[in-house]
C-alpha cells in the first residue's frame, strides 16, 4: 500500500515528529511504502482562490505543492499529522490543506 503523510509540525524533536516516525517505521516494516512530506521544509504558497485550476487542473502557483498533489492522488492511504497550537491546527496545514 502507498501511504502519504503530511507532517505539519515545524518542531523536528517534538511529539508530532516522534509519532510520524514511529508510524512510518511500523508501516514500512509491514511492507507498505511511505512518502512523507515535512511541510515546514517545503516551498508551498497558500491557495489564492483564483480557481484557474478549475479545482482539478494544474495550479498557476509553481511551488512544491504539485509534488504533494501527485503523491496524494497516487496514494492508497493519506495521513495528516497536525501539530496543534492552543487547540488550533498549525498554519502549515491550515493555510494550505484545511
> What pLDDT is recorded for position 98?
43
Confidence (pTM): 0.73
How far, in Å, CA of 44 to CA of 33, rounded? 24
In the chain, pLDDT over 70 holds for what percent of residues?
80
How far, in Å, CA of 32 to CA of 2, rounded? 6
The string of pLDDT tens digits covering residues 17-26 is: 888 899 899 9
Amino acid at each position: 500500500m502507498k501511504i502519504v503523510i503530511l507532517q505539519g509540525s515545524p518542531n523536528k524533536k517534538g511529539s508530532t515528529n516522534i509519532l510520524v516516525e514511529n508510524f512510518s517505521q511500523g508501516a514500512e516494516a509491514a511492507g507498505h511504502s511511505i512518502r512523507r512530506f515535512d511541510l515546514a521544509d517545503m516551498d508551498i504558497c497558500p491557495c489564492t482562490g483564483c480557481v484557474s485550476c478549475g479545482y482539478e487542473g494544474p495550479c498557476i502557483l509553481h511551488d512544491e505543492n504539485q509534488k504533494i498533489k501527485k503523491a496524494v492522488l497516487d496514494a492508497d492511504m493519506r495521513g495528516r499529522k497536525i501539530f496543534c497550537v492552543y487547540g488550533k491546527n498549525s498554519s502549515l496545514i491550515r493555510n494550505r490543506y484545511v
